[in-house]
Amino acid sequence: MAEMRKNKAKSSSSASSSSCSGFLNRSFTMHAPSKVDSNNPKVHFFLKNQQSQNRAASTSKVHDSIDSVKGKVKKLCCFFESGKSSSSSSNISNPKEPTHKPCLRTTKSSISSGFINPTIRLPGTEDRIVVYLTSLRGIRRTYEDCYAVRMIFRGFRLWIDERDISMDAAYKKELQNILKVRKVTLPQVFIKGKYIGGADVIKSMFEMGELAKVLDDFPRRQPGFVCNACGDVRFVPCGNCSGSRKLFDDDEGSLKRCFECNENGLIRCPDCCD
């Protein structure tokens, strides 16, 4: 009997404990936090406030980056303005010193005046345009300058007295004597017997419209005209020696040098150069 009473007491205690634990579990489950309800006005206010804070933070970052960029730009502007002010102050302090070196490419006054050095003249060419150039492509820059000047004048449909020093070495000596220099650069242009200059001067005059005014008095050729004798090369083989530079002397029975052609056995084209 005692044992049965003890078992009943144990069972009753276990039941009470289980009921207590169930009660506690129910209380916890009843008061446990559920999922976020977006329809709840408090939750909605909280979420809206948080989104506004995030937007404010992002906009503040953007404004900070913009301010930093503006600060850098202001520093650069101050730097350049200080450089300009220093240069202007130096020009004011030294008014007699030239601000820049005169350049034939950009000085309009020197070009519009007509000629670079009117004291240098080429006698016997007052009615033509003379261009000293080379047709060899040994130096790329020199050949490109010569070709550009030639195309500029041919664009005006003018006949040009092209004196190619690669075809006749006498032209090189002639140009050295006229310019009174030992080393000459090509091309060199003479208009109406007056010295104009090189490729840079001709290009500048052409771009500024000054060259058209200088060439207004020259007669124009027909479009597409090409010399049938030389093909606008300005040289043909010598008719006396057929380009061999040698002649047979019947009296002496030996070969002699032909003095009518140059070192290449060529003469000036009689059709377009006379």
Of 228 and 93, more confident: 228
Q: What are the residues whose beta carbons fall under 8 Å from the beta carbon of 146, sequence distance 6 or more?
A: 131, 133, 134, 135, 186, 187, 199
* pLDDT recorded at residue 63: 61
The predicted-structure confidence for 7-25, as pLDDT tens digits, reads as follows 555 555 554 444 444 444 4
pLDDT above 70 (res 131): yes
- Choose the weakest-confidence range: 31-40, 64-73, 181-190, 224-233: 31-40
Kindly give the pairing relationship between strand 129-133 and strand 188-191.
antiparallel
Angle at 185 between CA 182 and CA 189, to 5 degrees: 110
Q: Using an 8 Å Cβ cutoff, are 239 and 197 in contact? A: no
**Which pLDDT score, from 0 to 100, does residue 238 have?**
94
pLDDT in tens, 210-223: 999 999 999 998 88
Residue 233 — left, alpha, or beta (φ > 0 → left; ψ -120 to 50 → alpha)? alpha
The Cα–Cα gap between 58 and 262 comes to 85
Domains (range + CATH), the chain: 108-225 (3.40.30.10), 227-274 (no CATH)
Higher pLDDT, 82 or 133: 133
pLDDT at 122 over 50: yes
Q: Which helix (H) or strand (E) holds 191?
A: strand 188-191
What predicted TM-score, i.e. pTM, was given to this entire model? 0.58
The predicted pLDDT at position 225 comes to 87
Question: Which residues, including other chains, have CB under 8 Å from residue 196's CB and lie 6 or more apart?
Answer: 115, 116, 189, 190, 202, 205
Q: How confident is the model at residue 28 (pLDDT cuts 50, 70, 90)?
A: very low
Q: 273: which residues sit within 8 A by CB, 6+ positions away?
A: 161, 234
- No. of H helices and E strands in the chain? 7, 9
